[in-house]
Structure 1
Amino acid sequence: MSLKSVKYFPALTGLRAIAAFMVFFHHFNPIDNKSYLSFKIFDQGSIGVSVFYVLSGLLIASRYQNRIDTSIQWWKTYMRNRFARIYPLYFLLLLPTIVLGYLYPYSYVMHLDDWAAYTNVQKGVVTFLNLTLLKGFSESFKFSGIGQSWSLTVEECFYISAPFIILFARRTKWWMLTSVFALITTGIVLTSIFSHKYMYGFFGSYEFLFNYTFFGRCFEFILGMKLASLLRIKEFNHGAKFTLIGVLYISSIIFLEAYFNIEKQSYNGIIINNLILPFGICFLLFGLATETTWLYNILSGKIFDLLGKSSYAFYLVHMGFASIILDHFNIQLLWKFFTLNIVAIFLYKVIEHPVHTWIAGRKK
C-alpha cells in the first residue's frame, strides 16, 4: 500500500501512548533508590516529549504539505482545527485546577511552592499566562497550573510556524537548515534581551530556551517534517530494519544518559536530546510507518489505538488535581497508572473527541 495517500498511521497512534507512559514513569519513578541504574533509566522517560515533537512534525507535514492555501479562510480553518485539538480539554482541566488553587492556596495544586504568598496581581498574571498558554515562555511559571502543559506552548508555536515552513520548503532545498538557524537565532536574540530583566521569567535563560521553548527545540519538529516527505514515496514491506535501528538507537541513548548521569538541562544533555536523539526517533517512526513488524502489529491493535487516542488526555491528567486526589488515598503506583488511563479514556470518549469534532466541523 503506497503511503502517498495515507493520512493515518495506526502504529504511530499507539506509539503516542508509549510516549505518554514514558513521561508518567519519569514523573512517578517506580524505583525508590535514586542511585540504582534502573531508577536513572526510568528517569529518562522525559524523552517521550521528544517523541511527541518529532511525531507532530511528521503528522502536520503529512496532512498539510499539499493542502496549504494562503487565503484568510484557510488560515481560519487551520487554526480552528489546531485550537480544537489542544485547547478545549486543556481548558476543562485547567479551570478546576485554578479554582482549587484559589480555594486551597497552601496545597500544591498550582505547582508553585509559594503560591499562597502571591499577591492578587501575581496570581492574576499566573492565571492569565495559563489560560492563554503563554506560560511556556516564562521560566518562572512554566510548571504552574497543569505542570506538564508547558509543552503545549511549544506545540502551539509549531502549529503557527508549520505552514510557513512548508511554504518555504517549496522554494529552497536548504529549508531545513535555514529554518532551524532562523528559529534558534530568534530564540537566542530574545533570551539575550530578556534574560537580564525580570519579566516573570520571560525567556529567562539559555538553558530554559533549549529545554522548554519551540525556538530551542525546533529541530525535533522540522526533522519530523522532513521525514514526512520521505514517507510519501515508500511502500509497506515485511522487513524490520528501520524499526530495529530506531529501538536500539533510542535504547542506547537512554542507557548511556542514565549510566553517565548526563543531566538533560546541561549542554551535553541538550545536544544529545535536541540534536542526536531525534534521528533515532525518526528511524523508529519510519519503521513503524513502513514495516509490518511485531511491534507494528501491537501498536496498531485496538488496545493501543485507544490508548494512543486518549494519550493527550492521559498526558494532561497524569499530573494535576486528579493525580493529587489519588495520592491522597495512597493509591499504589500501578493502580494509579491504571486509574488515570481509565479517566483519560473517559475524557477522550465523552469530551475530547466530541468537542474536537464539533469545533473542527468534521463528520462523525
Structure 2
Amino acid sequence: MSQREQQNYIPALTGVRALAAYLVFISHYEYTFDQNFPHFIQRFFLEFHIGVTIFFVLSGFLIAFRYYDNFHLTKEWFKQYLKNRVARIYPMYFLITAGAFVVYYFTRDPSVVNGFPSAIGLFFMHITFVRGFFHQLNFTGVAQGWSLTVEECFYFSAPIAFYILHRYRKYFLQILALTGFGFLMVLIFRNVNWYGFFGNFTFMMLYTFFGRCFEFFVGIKLALMIRKKGFHRTNKLKFTYIGFFLIFFCVWLMSLLPIPKGWSAGLHNPLGIIINNYLLAVSIATFFYGLITETTVMKKVLANPFVELLGKSSYIFYLIHLGYMYVFIYNGINWLNDYTFDLYDKWGLDWHSPFQYDNLNILYAFVLLNAVSIFLFKFIEEPLNHFIRKSDFLVKAKPKQ
C-alpha cells in the first residue's frame, strides 16, 4: 500500500467488505433455512444480495476518495492508475477463473459454459470481462464474477467522470446519460439472438454498469462530501445505526415483493430494482458516513484487526464461495459424513454424525472458505499485488529513495 493509500485508509470500511461478502454468501445458501425457519425469514435472507450493492457504493467512495484530488487525464497517470487496479483485482480473478475452466475440462459441468460452443472462447470472454454483457453467459465460469465486469467499467470510466465533475459540475446528468445509454443498447439488441447481449431491461439494470452506475456515483458523492467537510461533525445523529436500519428496511421491502417469472428474487421486480439500485445505495452511503465520522461499537468491531483481515481476504471469499471450491469442500464434508457412519457401524454405535445437518455443514463450509481465503490472500494475492505494483508493468516503477 502506497503512502497516499495509507493516508486514505479507513479500517472500518475494510471490515465492511467482509460483511458484504458474507451477506452475499447467505443469499446464495438461504435454502438451508427452508425447514426450520418461517418462509418470510427465507425470503429475507434471499435478498442479502445487497452485499453487491455495498461493494459498488464502497468502490465509488474509495476510488473518488483516493484519486479525485490528484487525477490527471494523461497517459502516464492513467497507466499508473490502471496498474494499481490490475494489481488489486486481476491476479486472483484470473487464477480462480482459470481453475474453473480446468475443472470443467475434467467434469464437463454444463453450468460452466451454459451451452456456449467454445470453452476456450468463453474463457477469453471471462478474462477480458466482456461476458458480463451477455445475459445467457452472465453466470458461467465463476458465476459471481459478473460483478467484476461492472467494477471494471467503473474503473475505466471514473477518471472521465472526475473530469466532468471538475470542469462542468455535472453529477446527475452523467447518471442519466449512462442509464439512458443502457436503455438504448437494450432497445437495439433485445431482439438479436446473440447470447442475450443487453438482452432485456431487467438484466441491464441489475447486471451492467449502465444500470447500476448510481450506486458508484453515490459513493463518489460521499467521498467529495468527506473531502470537503472532513471526518468530524457537530450534530449528534447516529448515522451509522440510521443507515444500518435503512439498509435492512430495504431488504425487508424487497422480501415482500412478488418474484417475476423466470427470476429468483424480489430484487428482479421493477420496484425491487428501484429499491436496490437507488434507495439502498443512499442507505448504504448513510451507513458509511456514520462509520467514517462517528465512534460507535459497530465501527470498533469492523475496525478490529481480525475483522480487517477478513475484509482484506473477502475478495477471494467472494470469488470462491460459489463454484468448484465450494463443491470440493461440500463433497469433502459429505465424505466425512459417510466415513463417520462407517465408523459407527464398525463400532456398533447408533450416534448422530456432526456432518449430517445441512445448517451445520454450511457453517463448516463458511469457516473453511474463510480459512482458504486468508491463506490465498497472505501467500498469493498480497505478494502478487506488491509484485505488480513494484514491477515495470505498464509504467516503470519509481526507484526507492
Q: TM-score, structure 2 length as denominator?
A: 0.84
Which deviates more, 138-147 or 92-101?
92-101
Is contact 1:101–1:109 with CA below 8 Å preserved after alignment?
no
1:31 is aligned with what amino acid? Answer: F
What's 2:184 paired with?
A: 189
Structure 2 runs not aligned, ≥5 long: 1-5, 260-265, 335-354, 356-360, 391-396
Is contact 2:257–2:269 with CA below 8 Å preserved after alignment?
no
What's 2:341 paired with?
A: none
- Cα distance, 1:339 vs structure 2: 0.2
Q: 1:254 aligns with which of 246, 251, 264?
A: 251
Which deviates more, 252-261 or 233-242?
233-242
Q: 2:158 aligns with which of 156, 162, 165?
A: 162
1:203 is aligned with what amino acid? Answer: F
Is contact 1:17–1:307 with CA below 8 Å preserved after alignment?
yes
Is contact 1:20–1:48 with CA below 8 Å preserved after alignment?
yes
1:34-82: per-residue Cα shift (whole Å, max 9, x none)? 8611111111110000000000000000000111112211111111111
Structure 1 runs not aligned, ≥5 long: none
Partners in 1 of 2:257 and 2:271 — Cα distance? 11
Q: 1:288 aligns with which of 283, 291, 312?
A: 291
Is contact 1:41–1:254 with CA below 8 Å preserved after alignment?
yes
Partners in 1 of 2:111 and 2:176 — Cα distance? 38
Partners in 1 of 2:182 and 2:254 — Cα distance? 26
What's 1:132 paired with?
A: 128
1:133 is aligned with what amino acid? Answer: F
Partners in 2 of 1:185 and 1:235 — Cα distance? 35
Which deviates more, 217-226 or 237-246?
237-246
- Cα distance, 1:276 vs structure 2: 1.0
Partners in 1 of 2:241 and 2:210 — Cα distance? 31
CA distance change for structure 1 residues 158 and 226 in 2, over 3 Å: closer, same or farther? Answer: same
Partners in 1 of 2:222 and 2:328 — Cα distance? 41
- Cα distance, 1:6 vs structure 2: 4.5
Is contact 1:111–1:147 with CA below 8 Å preserved after alignment?
no
1:250-274: per-residue Cα shift (whole Å, max 9, x none)? 1211122223446211211111111
For the pair 1:45 / 2:48, whether they are aligned, the reply is: yes
Is contact 1:84–1:355 with CA below 8 Å preserved after alignment?
yes
CA distance change for structure 1 residues 111 and 319 in 2, over 3 Å: closer, same or farther? Answer: farther
1:337 is aligned with what amino acid? Answer: F
Q: 1:82 aligns with which of 74, 78, 85?
A: 85
Q: 1:201 aligns with which of 169, 191, 196?
A: 196
For the pair 1:100 / 2:69, whether they are aligned, the reply is: no
For the pair 1:24 / 2:21, whether they are aligned, the reply is: no
Partners in 1 of 2:378 and 2:81 — Cα distance? 23
Q: TM-score, structure 1 length as denominator?
A: 0.92
For the pair 1:152 / 2:148, whether they are aligned, the reply is: yes
Q: How many residues align?
A: 351
1:179 is aligned with what amino acid? Answer: Q
CA RMSD in angstroms, aligned pairs only: 1.9
- Cα distance, 1:124 vs structure 2: 3.3
Is contact 1:109–1:324 with CA below 8 Å preserved after alignment?
no
1:37 is aligned with what amino acid? Answer: F
Which deviates more, 135-144 or 66-75?
66-75
Aligned to 1:352, the other structure's residue is in SS state helix
- Cα distance, 1:194 vs structure 2: 1.2
CA distance change for structure 1 residues 153 and 267 in 2, over 3 Å: closer, same or farther? Answer: same
